[in-house]
Chains A and B, each alone.
Chain A
């Protein structure tokens, strides 16, 4: 993936970050991402990101677990090798509920975590470009993607005026592992959602 030029603005307080996000977006710049040390609630809406559907994936994994457990146990105990256990029925549904429940939870949890790692491209031994070392400490790092037409100096001073305590221009390959996001995606909608 090609390298791109990014303008980086660091904010030290979420109270200045939110108005700045709004200003930058109103001015028509494309925010590549905002890196924060903790989950800042409402920031995803302010950036116009859509809701995640990870929980839907979790539900699908869960019912996969349920049906795997019920399917396997009923096939094994009432068809493949029907054991006479104290004269009890071969199809003993109530006795299968504990394992069915456990497998539901297991499939949902494992599936969701793997999906989470895949979507966020998280894995050991992966190298990513980190725009600022303090993004995991105390800075909220706003990264703006530039095009040929962007006036970098204007943008830098614009960010400073919006409250950035530190600004910086970086040429980086902010691509993703496996190149899944190689295509230029449109990460947020065009209209600004009032948070």
Chain B
């Protein structure tokens, strides 16, 4: 039983006068229509980037990762930066679908499906970097713990890099299951509307024969709730473990206890920014303005300004500790290698500060939070800033270590390193374009579930209840969905 009435103070989550059937029509339309010219252009660009990435990787395997500009001092460069960046982006989807589900944030229904898809594609992109960075990629299976013929010499379970293997693969699997189990009812909706035999067959296979039985829905609800409960600590653990890759080392600039919460906040920050980028495009291209409303955009901008500020506090705390610890290596890293604009990589630190900490403060103004252009622009800026953050953490800690003779300032990426990165963009957007064409980008069943409480026309009909005294309201039958009468009236 849930409250049927929602305060008029809350913005509607679905605009317009809509019935359940209209919701189906609106969301399934892009799947049933021919893709637009824009879709083809975007898709071909994505495939072209992907192919260039594949070529860069072919060279990588043929010539070795020496074709990247890494050297003995800067052993981690763009590749690990990109890995952490993509994993961070991959945090928003599960956060939206799991944590916001537990917090009963109704607005998640409009954006969760696309955000979860984005998560899965982002984690796929992230996974590429550590795998190809191994160099002899055909030996990648060495990271798996199995009774092998080398002893059996096991993997080192005490190593954060192995924790990463478990964390990322678990995260990918659980996100995929969460996403797909939520998709089953919506794929069944597409199946039951299909006009052609092939379409009916394909969506029939994809929807696993979903019927919508009450018992199945009951189990489905239980499954979603428990998966949300499991995913919530999982999301936090994954980026915590990624931060352990750095924090458990003794390199100045990495060896800090603040890393886990700081990385998690940064991940949510960049993930929401990527969701914004995609949502602004989707609502425009597919005409989903009634479902992805300004209220949704504003809510996500609020999360962005919050997490951006948390990240800002973390940066300042690091600087403070660089001085307060009176450790000269820490001090050198934070105050010379990073915060000094005129040091070799100082530009990246200040780029990060400007993009991540200063510019999101614009979202304290409601007008800015509800401005689509500002939102889109800021979402790109934030992701540039978050890329800088990872670059700062990795490269500025490495390039001047304890031994001045090993110092190196000559790290700049080669075209193949850049090509690999843009190749993952290709992979991400190829997957996303295909998803947007063949899957419902908004959770149809979940929108129907909230329609009669938060849909604009239904809210309007209930407006008069604002003036009813509370005790009258509680006994008038509006309080709960379950109708107690025997149908005689």
Q: Do A and B bind each other?
A: yes
Nearest-CB residue, chain B, relative to A17 = B483
Cβ-based interface call for B189 (8 A)? yes
Assess the B174–A46 pair: CB atoms within 8 A: no
One of B17-25, B79-87, B111-119, B282-290 at the interface: B17-25
Nearest-CB residue, chain B, relative to A16 = B487
Cβ-based interface call for B372 (8 A)? no
Assess the A122–B209 pair: CB atoms within 8 A: yes
A99 contact from B166, B210, B211, B217, Cβ within 8 A: B166
> What is the bound-complex CA distance between A72 and B166, given in angstroms?
14
Q: Which residues of A contact B19 (CB under 8 A)?
A: 138
Q: Mark A59-99, 1 if CB is under 8 A from B, else 0.
A: 00010000000001100110011010100100010011011
> What is the bound-complex CA distance between A141 and B233, given in angstroms?
38
A124 contact from B20, B163, B206, B483, Cβ within 8 A: B206
A101 contact from B174, B226, B237, B449, Cβ within 8 A: B237
Assess the A54–B446 pair: CB atoms within 8 A: no
Nearest-CB residue, chain A, relative to B451 = A38
Assess the A113–B181 pair: CB atoms within 8 A: yes
Interface of chain B: mostly helix, strand, loop or mixed: helix
Q: Mark A89-130, 1 if CB is under 8 A from B, else 0.
A: 000100110110111011011101100110111111111101
Cβ-based interface call for A173 (8 A)? no
Q: Which residues of A contact B405 (CB under 8 A)?
A: none
Assess the A110–B173 pair: CB atoms within 8 A: yes
Cβ-based interface call for B223 (8 A)? yes
> What is the bound-complex CA distance between A124 and B206, given in angstroms?
6
**Distance in Å from the Cβ of A6 to the closest Cβ of chain B?**
13
> What is the bound-complex CA distance between A113 and B174, given in angstroms?
10
Assess the B213–A105 pair: CB atoms within 8 A: no
Assess the B217–A113 pair: CB atoms within 8 A: no
Assess the B446–A125 pair: CB atoms within 8 A: no
Q: Mark B150-176, 1 if CB is under 8 A from A, else 0.
A: 011110111010110011001001100
Assess the B218–A137 pair: CB atoms within 8 A: no
Q: Mark B79-97, 1 if CB is under 8 A from A, else 0.
A: 0000000000000000000
Q: Which residues of A contact B163 (CB under 8 A)?
A: 98-99, 102
B217 contact from A39, A80, A119, Cβ within 8 A: A39
**Distance in Å from the Cβ of B311 to the closest Cβ of chain A?**
23
**Distance in Å from the Cβ of A179 to the closest Cβ of chain B?**
15
> What is the bound-complex CA distance between A126 and B218, given in angstroms?
21
Q: Which residues of B contact A88 (CB under 8 A)?
A: 158
With A37-B445, A41-B481, A162-B487 known to touch, is A119 a contact of B185 (CB < 8 Å)?
Answer: no
Assess the A123–B208 pair: CB atoms within 8 A: yes
- What total count of A-B pairs have CB within 8 Å? 215
With A37-B189, A124-B206, A162-B487 known to touch, is A58 a contact of B158 (CB < 8 Å)?
Answer: no
Q: Which residues of A contact B24 (CB under 8 A)?
A: 37, 137-138
Q: Which residues of B contact A54 (CB under 8 A)?
A: 219, 222-223, 226
Assess the B219–A120 pair: CB atoms within 8 A: yes
Assess the A112–B487 pair: CB atoms within 8 A: no
Nearest-CB residue, chain B, relative to A88 = B158
Cβ-based interface call for A150 (8 A)? no
Number of interface residues of B (CB under 8 A): 71
B221 contact from A39, A135, A163, Cβ within 8 A: A39
Nearest-CB residue, chain B, relative to A75 = B154
Nearest-CB residue, chain B, relative to A92 = B158
B158 contact from A35, A95, A141, Cβ within 8 A: A95
Q: Which residues of B contact A123 (CB under 8 A)?
A: 208-209
Cβ-based interface call for A182 (8 A)? no
With A18-B482, A128-B211 known to touch, is A85 a contact of B445 (CB < 8 Å)?
Answer: no
Cβ-based interface call for B123 (8 A)? no
B227 contact from A52, A112, A124, Cβ within 8 A: A112
Nearest-CB residue, chain B, relative to A116 = B223
Cβ-based interface call for A152 (8 A)? no
Assess the B482–A105 pair: CB atoms within 8 A: no
Nearest-CB residue, chain B, relative to A14 = B481
Assess the A137–B20 pair: CB atoms within 8 A: yes
| Interface hits, A13-50 → B, CB 8 Å | 14-16, 18-20, 22-23, 33-44, 46-47, 49
> What is the bound-complex CA distance between A72 and B145, given in angstroms?
10
Q: Which residues of B contact A46 (CB under 8 A)?
A: 482
Cβ-based interface call for A2 (8 A)? no
Q: Which residues of A contact B167 (CB under 8 A)?
A: 98, 102
Assess the A106–B174 pair: CB atoms within 8 A: yes
Assess the A81–B158 pair: CB atoms within 8 A: no
Cβ-based interface call for A4 (8 A)? no
Assess the B209–A126 pair: CB atoms within 8 A: yes
With A41-B481, A85-B158, A102-B237 known to touch, is A36 a contact of B208 (CB < 8 Å)?
Answer: no
| 20 A-B pairs with C-beta separation under 8 A | A34-B213, A36-B214, A41-B1, A42-B1, A52-B222, A54-B223, A81-B151, A81-B152, A81-B153, A83-B156, A88-B158, A98-B166, A99-B166, A102-B163, A102-B170, A112-B226, A122-B216, A123-B209, A124-B205, A136-B210
Closest CB pairs A-B (n = 6): A19-B487, A138-B20, A122-B208, A126-B209, A38-B445, A95-B158
Q: Footprint of B on A, CB under 8 Å? A: 14-16, 18-20, 22-23, 33-44, 46-47, 49, 51-52, 54-55, 58, 62, 72-73, 76-77, 80-81, 83, 85, 88, 92, 95-96, 98-99, 101-103, 105-106, 108-110, 112-113, 116-117, 119-128, 130, 133-138, 141, 162-163, 177, 187, 194-195
